[in-house]
Amino acid sequence: MRAQVLRAHGGAGNFELVNIPEPELRPGAVRVRIAAASVNQIDIKIRDGLPIGPTLPAVLGCDLAGVVEAVGPGVAGFAVGDEVYGCAGGVRGQGGTLAEAIVADARLLAPKPRALSMREAAALPLVTITAWEALERAGVSEADHVLVHGGAGGVGHIGVQLAKARGARVATTVGSAEDAAIARELGADATIDYRQEAVADYVARLTGGRGFDVVFDTVGGANLDRSFAAAALGGRVAAIAARSTHDLSPLHAKGLSLHVVFMLIPMLHDIGRERHGQLLREAAALVEAGTLRPLLDPARFDLAAAADAYRHLESGQACGKVVIDIA
Amino acid sequence: MRAQVLRAHGGAGNFELVNIPEPELRPGAVRVRIAAASVNQIDIKIRDGLPIGPTLPAVLGCDLAGVVEAVGPGVAGFAVGDEVYGCAGGVRGQGGTLAEAIVADARLLAPKPRALSMREAAALPLVTITAWEALERAGVSEADHVLVHGGAGGVGHIGVQLAKARGARVATTVGSAEDAAIARELGADATIDYRQEAVADYVARLTGGRGFDVVFDTVGGANLDRSFAAAALGGRVAAIAARSTHDLSPLHAKGLSLHVVFMLIPMLHDIGRERHGQLLREAAALVEAGTLRPLLDPARFDLAAAADAYRHLESGQACGKVVIDIA
């Protein structure tokens, strides 16, 4: 099969399109003919050498949508020909999705939402599971005023929709007027141009100075300090990028809770994988109900151009998810 | 009335025993003739200048037990002669308990547990409310293996008992064989001499390397990093001293939740004060049931020797709570 193989950690130029053997079926897994894959920030970090990735040379890529073409021993609930989606590759011990086929742990997969194309379905798994876990652990309900950072970004645009689905009032940060319009279409009640408005100013404007009950930080780094600053007394902050060093005094002064979400843990440690398949089933129901939809960046890439897809996400210019058409 | 007045921020030598006017009753408050007060780590920080304290000169001290001698307008549920306990002073806007009387917000008080002496009751409020909130926010249940740091300390000895009351398996760190024996008497299933055993070693010995479901950090500073290290995948850490700077990578790698508890928030911000009175009623029921008891350091101090009580707590040699006999 054709695959993009990463020869060495580093930039997108280290990918090479080659022919490699089809991966072998194993118990508990299915072989999926991949129709589309999507690129996530974590894929870039793994490409650059984050030590959760596979031993090189290897195929990277977490997210996929495709068709089941073989079912391994011990797998219930999937049959040849089923359209599926999931986040089932890209880290050590797993295959990758920058290839024409993958052998994936069946517990990580779910039936593809019928209303979505393969491209659209491939955009959802990692960001949806991430946002779902963040909002669930933060206990978001209709009583909450929620700030989602990056409402036009990969995880953020799902966070806005899932927070609205939980009945919360939702504000979101964006970087342009175009992204603000997109975030409002996704359901955001208010938008904040983070390039124009300081935290204290939008906390005053949108919460009367009280702060947000929940802040969902999809950005990390210095933005995490801004998230602490934007939270109300007793508030909850959910973060998906927290490998940095921070003064925790604001958490102390306000009695905050910080929930750090790392959705690759089930793949890395073989714990709770069934939950991921289940979440994707629940997400598919939200899609069918019209409550959840993926936001796809308009740029198109095929497998041969995978490196360009990575570069596009790295540029910071992508709006929503960057998807690669595999077949 | 006699009171210890702090003249300037700094060491225990800055207290002065003087006569000052009795505090005036106000709506929503009661005047309590104080029988005993206890000293907490936060009292030392406030004495040293933490900017949540009252404007000096002022009377410090949070915890008290005593007898209601006057009831202000709008107060229900208390009458003259009632024995009460609570954490109702020591920060800006409130009175202090290093005095013969205090006017305290009635919402912060509860009837003193009948089984306890005034000394014993005065030991409980701040540490009990703190530990209660920590274990509640961490969702401690009978399914959890909990590590409580400082099981012979002020907050820690309550944390051990409340975690056991929730049905959890409890390990605790101590600094001596004597403290280990005390922690076991309080219900700890296992003890760890933190001076002798590294985190990885006791995590291996007590959890088979898996880590603790919940770590209750009553120490802060570098110990918070040890708490992150001792937590299991998806674990919860509750901390009561988190004004320091930390690398959050361990939270990311394990997908941890960090709950920072600051029990003075209701006094400082006039939010949720009823909850404190209610918690002390629930704690009193646990005391009557024989499930909860305070651990008192054997050293005795009267109001004139309040500075020595502070010095004793600061020395790190106290075991359990340091109490001051006021009357």
Residues forming a β-bridge with B36: B65, B325
Strand B257-260 with B245-247, pairing: unpaired
Mutate to test the interface with B, among A262, A268, A271, A275 (most CBs of B within 10 A): A262
pLDDT one-digit tens code per residue, B33-67: 999 999 999 999 999 999 999 999 999 999 999 99
Q: How many CA atoms lie less than 13 Å away from B283 in the CB half-sphere? A: 34
Q: Do B265 and A137 touch (CB under 8 A)?
A: no
Check: complex ipTM more than 0.90: yes
- Measured CA to CA, the distance from residue B234 to residue B240 in angstroms comes to 20
Closest CA to B50 of B261, B318, B262: B262
DSSP code string of A47-103: HHT-TTSPPSSEE---EEEEEEEEE-TT--S--TT-EEEEE--SSTTS--SSBSEEE
- Measured CA to CA, the distance from residue A273 to residue A107 in angstroms comes to 6
Task: Supply B313's token pair.
Answer: 């707590």
Task: Supply A285's token pair.
Answer: 């129901």
Residues of A in contact with B234 (CB under 8 A): 265, 271-272
Q: What is the arithmetic mean of pLDDT over B306-313? A: 97
Q: Identify which of B224, B245, B251 has the shortest CB distance to residue A242.
A: B251
Q: Do B257 and A254 touch (CB under 8 A)?
A: no
Q: Do A234 and B258 touch (CB under 8 A)?
A: no
Q: Is B175 helix (H, G, I), strand (E, B) or coil?
A: coil
CA angle B194–B198–B204, rounded 5-degree value? 115
> pLDDT band at B3, cuts 50/70/90?
very high
DSSP code string of A203-221: HHHHHTTS-EEEEEESS-T
Strand A63-71 with A29-39, pairing: antiparallel
| pLDDT recorded at residue A94 | 95
Name residue B13's amino acid. Answer: G
Classify residue B107 by its DSSP letter: G
| pLDDT recorded at residue B172 | 98
Phi then psi for A204, rounded to 5 degrees? Answer: -70, -45
Cis upstream peptide for A57 (omega within 30°) = yes
- Measured CA to CA, the distance from residue A83 to residue A65 in angstroms comes to 7
Minimum distance, in Å, between the CA of residue A253 and any CA atom of chain B: 7
| pLDDT recorded at residue B263 | 97
- Measured CA to CA, the distance from residue B161 to residue B167 in angstroms comes to 10
pLDDT one-digit tens code per residue, B287-301: 999 999 999 999 999
Q: Identify which of A252, A260, A262 has the shortest CB distance to residue B242.
A: A252
| Average pLDDT of chain B to the nearest whole number | 97
CA of A258: which chain B residue's CA is closest? B258
Which residues in A100-131 are b (16+ Cβ under 10 Å) and which e? bbbbbbbbbbbbbbeebbbbbbbbbbbbbbbb
Name residue B187's amino acid. Answer: G
pLDDT one-digit tens code per residue, A81-107: 999 999 999 999 999 999 999 999 999
Phi then psi for B131, rounded to 5 degrees? Answer: -65, -40
Closest CA to A123 of A34, A39, A44, A47: A39
| pLDDT recorded at residue A62 | 98
Q: Identify which of B224, B233, B252 has the shortest CB distance to residue A243.
A: B252
> pLDDT band at B285, cuts 50/70/90?
very high
Sequence-separated (6 or more) residues with CB below 8 Å from residue A22: A1, A31, A101
Residues of B in contact with A136 (CB under 8 A): none
CA of B245: which chain A residue's CA is closest? A247
Closest CA to B131 of B49, B218, B26: B218
Residues forming a β-bridge with B301: B324
pLDDT one-digit tens code per residue, B222-266: 999 999 999 999 999 999 999 999 999 999 999 999 999 999 999
pLDDT one-digit tens code per residue, B130-139: 999 999 999 9
Instruction: For each of the domains in chain B, give its residue range(s) and CATH number, in order of start.
Output: 2-124+267-325 (3.90.180.10), 127-260 (3.40.50.720)
End-to-end CA distance of chain A: 12
- Measured CA to CA, the distance from residue B167 to residue B164 in angstroms comes to 5
| pLDDT recorded at residue B269 | 97
Closest CA to B27 of B89, B105, B85, B87: B105
| pLDDT recorded at residue B22 | 96
Strand B29-39 with A101-105, pairing: unpaired
In three-state form (DSSP H/G/I as H, E/B as E, the rest C), the secondary structure along A154-195 is HHHHHHHHHHHHCCCEEEEEECCHHHHHHHHHCCCCEEEECC
CA of B263: which chain A residue's CA is closest? A255
Residues of chain A with confidence (pLDDT) below 50: none
Q: Identify which of A245, A257, A269 has the shortest CB distance to residue B245.
A: A245
> pLDDT band at B143, cuts 50/70/90?
very high
Q: What is the arithmetic mean of pLDDT over B140-166? A: 97
> pLDDT band at B162, cuts 50/70/90?
very high
